[in-house]
């Protein structure tokens, strides 16, 4: 799968049109394209908005020998913009620059005549002008276009592009009335990087699109296939139908060994409930032997001991008490409590240990808890090794068991790095693993594996916190690579126990389960567990996402704050959630591998909502939405139109009270 956001310029234009919906049907709007690449994009915008389409010819002034480097731009009406920094930096002679300007001005006039084929330039006086290109780098050409339109007395100038650097968009906002940059990836590199198909647009293509009148564009729109919601409705499987969501997953799963079940928030009851029910069926009907969660290894392993009838915990609630780190409600909630109880009861009915299903954690936040587990294990099997581990972990003592403190110290040079110590500890555990097995059988092997996984969590956790302030992509990738490595190690370990390849269900957020190559975050190098699973196990994974339109959610105002029951705003126009809401089914599952019409619709980049443990409705668009091609991101999507908040085991007064529902604007 190529790391691109838009299929082609047509796809980009349709997406821009959704963002410009407030201008649809207005008689004072005109769409102008910067040829040639901007014309196919602008055509889709003009068709959707039912507005006239024309071109605004602008010529970039390229540096001779380095034509991609712009030293300025010119537009019709005598507008000339020159980047003095570039001219001075390259020591270009003013007369030489003027000759280039004159040459480009002649080419500008020639192109205007060729594109319009005798038609006069449009009168933009008093008009709302939406000026469109297929993307911007420096923005020199667009600045020239804006100035030209200002001189022609346009009433309002709206710059609209599919992709551009954030800095370019900020600069244009200083001179344009409105700037719509659909995505602002960083590092930007080049416009063509964000398209699958970025072939050169020919002059004849430009002329053909400009020849169409608004009436012809309206007719073309009416002849297009059925609307997108109808296409999805025709293939969606309502959850109330005979073929349930669980049936769809079991069928689509086939022989896959890894089924990743997502969630659009860390606090929605229906997401947890659906995952638990699907997982019960995969364990009972398809032979899955493990649930791996987006939780810390030592806390989840305490639950694993309980479901296998080991350890001191007497019931499921007690086994879940290991989850003490914020946000406790992620795993200490009523749905997980019921599932863990079910898993223990099922395992108790099975005579053979290797047939029982386990409960494991993939995450690395529990740095200090993992250290404790390592020392506790070594105290039982090798007291001298336990003492060496204590000495190594003493490096962390002055951070008061707060990994955030370690992150600050490592980032700003306020303390020593403990990298060497944790690597030494992992190496020793791996080297002496056979010596530390106190007895034969599965139990001894599991405890050795548990110690090694805790050591890996300490090593990767130390690196994660050390890089936390060095860039979000770097630390994010460290975390998701750790989860993928842990999943693979778990599959290998369980496979050795059973004598056959293990089958594992993963519970994690959509942002980890989905394939990052289909998202704008992936375009800047972000990895995800879902992507890594697909790459490492091609044809052996199933990625399932979950979405909702509105309802309530359990979330906090900020990190470390109490859980609240918050109202989820209705999804934004142009989002996949709004599209699913328009399907007009209370809930449905969409098996994308078997849904060609829906897959075609969902190959376009759309907004997608992600609520983690923090929900900030006042900054909904900036805080909780990103762009993605859902058909590439997931193999299957579950949509539940209205959902309710996940119920924590510890219900605070704030959660009981909930927030006060308000009438929010539909878009932010």
- Residue bearing tokens 């540096």: 63
pLDDT at 664: 40
Pairing of β 636-643 and β 541-555: parallel
pLDDT at 258: 97
431 dihedral zone (left: phi>0; alpha: psi -120 to 50; beta) = alpha
| 247: exposed, middle or buried (Cβ count in 10 Å: 0-12, 13-18, 19+) | middle
Overall size of the chain counted in residues: 668
Q: Where are the beta strands (DSSP E) in 133-242?
A: 156-163, 178-183, 237-238
What are the residue ranges of helices labelled H in 514-614?
A: 529-536, 576-582, 596-601
C-alpha span between 295 and 364 (Å, rounded): 8
pTM value is 0.76
C-alpha span between 582 and 578 (Å, rounded): 6
- Residue bearing tokens 């740095």: 367
pLDDT at 261: 97
C-alpha span between 638 and 589 (Å, rounded): 4
Residues ≥6 apart with Cβ < 8 Å to 190:
137
Element (H, E) at 588: strand 587-591
The 3-state DSSP class for residue 348 equals helix
pLDDT at 668: 32
pLDDT at 662: 46
pLDDT at 347: 96
Residues ≥6 apart with Cβ < 8 Å to 440:
none
pLDDT at 125: 94
C-alpha span between 258 and 251 (Å, rounded): 14
Q: Calculate the CA dihedral of residues 465, 468, 473, 475 and round it to 10 degrees.
A: 0
Q: Vertex 186, ends 184 and 189: CA angle to 5°? A: 100
Written as one string, the DSSP assignment of 180-209 is EEEE--SS---GGGGBS--PPPPHHHHHHH
Q: Is the dihedral of CA 394, 398, 404, 407 positive or negative?
A: negative
pLDDT at 441: 53
C-alpha span between 266 and 330 (Å, rounded): 6
pLDDT at 135: 93
Q: Across the strands, what pairs with 544?
A: 261, 636
**Residues 290 and 357: beta-carbon distance below 8 Å:** yes
Residues ≥6 apart with Cβ < 8 Å to 555:
265, 266, 267, 563, 564, 566, 611, 612, 613, 614, 615
Element (H, E) at 271: helix 269-286
* Rounded (to 5) percent helix, strand, coil in the chain: 50, 20, 30
Written as one string, the DSSP assignment of 292-344 is EEEEEHHHHHHHHHHHTT-SS--SHHHHGGG--SS-GGGTSBHHHHHHHHHHH
Report residue 429 as tokens. Answer: 């555990």
Residues of the chain with pLDDT under 50: 1-2, 242, 438-440, 662-668
Q: Across the strands, what pairs with 82?
A: 72
């Amino acid at each position: 799968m190529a790391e691109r956001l838009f299929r082609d310029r047509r796809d980009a234009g349709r997406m821009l049109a959704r963002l410009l919906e407030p201008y649809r049907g207005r008689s004072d709007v005109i769409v102008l394209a910067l040829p040639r690449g901007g014309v196919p994009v602008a055509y889709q915008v003009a068709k959707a908005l039912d507005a006239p389409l024309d071109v605004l010819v602008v010529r970039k002034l390229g540096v001779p020998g380095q034509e991609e480097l712009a030293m300025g731009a010119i537009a019709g009406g005598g507008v000339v913009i020159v980047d003095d920094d570039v001219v001075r930096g390259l020591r270009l002679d003013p007369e030489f620059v003027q000759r280039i300007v004159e040459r480009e001005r002649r080419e500008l006039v020639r192109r205007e005549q060729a594109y319009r084929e005798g038609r006069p330039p449009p009168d933009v006086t008093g008009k709302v002008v939406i000026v469109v290109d297929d993307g911007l780098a420096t923005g020199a050409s667009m600045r020239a276009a804006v100035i030209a339109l200002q001189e022609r007395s346009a009433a309002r100038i709206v710059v609209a592009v599919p992709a551009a650097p954030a800095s370019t968009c900020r600069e244009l906002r200083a001179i344009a009335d409105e700037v719509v940059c659909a995505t602002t990836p960083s590092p930007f590199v080049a416009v063509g990087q964000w398209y699958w198909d970025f072939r050169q647009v020919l002059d004849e293509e430009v002329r053909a699109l400009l020849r169409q009148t608004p009436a012809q564009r309206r007719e073309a729109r009416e002849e297009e296939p059925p609307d997108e919601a109808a296409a999805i409705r025709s293939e969606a499987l309502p959850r109330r139908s005979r073929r349930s969501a669980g049936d769809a997953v079991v069928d689509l799963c086939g022989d896959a060994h890894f089924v990743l079940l997502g969630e659009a928030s860390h606090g929605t009851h229906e997401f947890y409930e659906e995952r638990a029910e699907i997982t019960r069926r995969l364990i009972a009907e398809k032979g899955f032997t493990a649930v791996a969660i987006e939780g810390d290894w030592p806390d989840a392993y305490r639950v694993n001991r309980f479901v296998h009838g080991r350890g001191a915990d007497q019931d499921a609630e007690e086994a879940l008490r290991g989850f003490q780190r914020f946000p406790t409600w992620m795993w200490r909630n009523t749905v997980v409590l019921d599932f863990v109880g079910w898993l223990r009861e099922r395992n108790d009915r099975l005579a053979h240990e290797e047939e029982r299903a386990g409960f494991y954690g993939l995450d690395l936040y529990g740095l200090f808890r993992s250290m404790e587990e390592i020392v506790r294990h070594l105290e039982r099997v090798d007291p001298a090794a336990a003492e060496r581990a204590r000495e190594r972990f003493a490096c962390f003592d002055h951070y008061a068991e707060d990994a955030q403190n370690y992150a600050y110290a490592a980032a700003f040079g306020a303390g020593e790095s403990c990298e060497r110590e944790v690597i030494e500890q992992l190496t020793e555990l791996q080297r002496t693993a056979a010596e530390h097995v106190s007895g034969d059988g599965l139990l001894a092997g599991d405890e050795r594996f548990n110690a090694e996984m805790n050591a890996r969590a300490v090593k990767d956790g130390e690196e994660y916190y050390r890089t936390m302030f060095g860039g979000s992509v770097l630390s994010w990738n460290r975390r998701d690579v750790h989860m993928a490595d842990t999943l693979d190690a778990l599959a290998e370990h369980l496979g050795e126990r059973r004598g056959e390849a293990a089958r594992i269900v993963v519970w994690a957020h959509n942002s980890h389960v989905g394939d990052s190559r289909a998202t704008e975050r992936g375009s800047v190098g972000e990895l995800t567990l879902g992507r890594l699973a697909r790459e490492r196990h091609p044809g052996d994974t199933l990625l399932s996402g979950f979405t909702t339109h509105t309802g309530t959610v359990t979330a906090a105002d900020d990190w470390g704050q109490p859980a609240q029951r918050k109202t989820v705003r209705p999804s934004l126009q142009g989002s996949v959630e709004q599209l699913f809401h328009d399907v007009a089914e209370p809930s449905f599952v969409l098996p994308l591998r078997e849904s060609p019409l829906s897959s075609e619709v969902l190959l376009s980049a759309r907004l997608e909502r992600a609520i983690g443990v923090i929900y900030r409705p006042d900054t909904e668009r900036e805080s909780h939405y990103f762009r993605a091609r859902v058909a590439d991101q997931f193999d299957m999507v579950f949509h539940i139109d209205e959902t309710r908040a996940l119920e924590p085991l510890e219900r605070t007064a704030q959660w009981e009270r909930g927030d006060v529902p308000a009438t929010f604007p539909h878009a932010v």
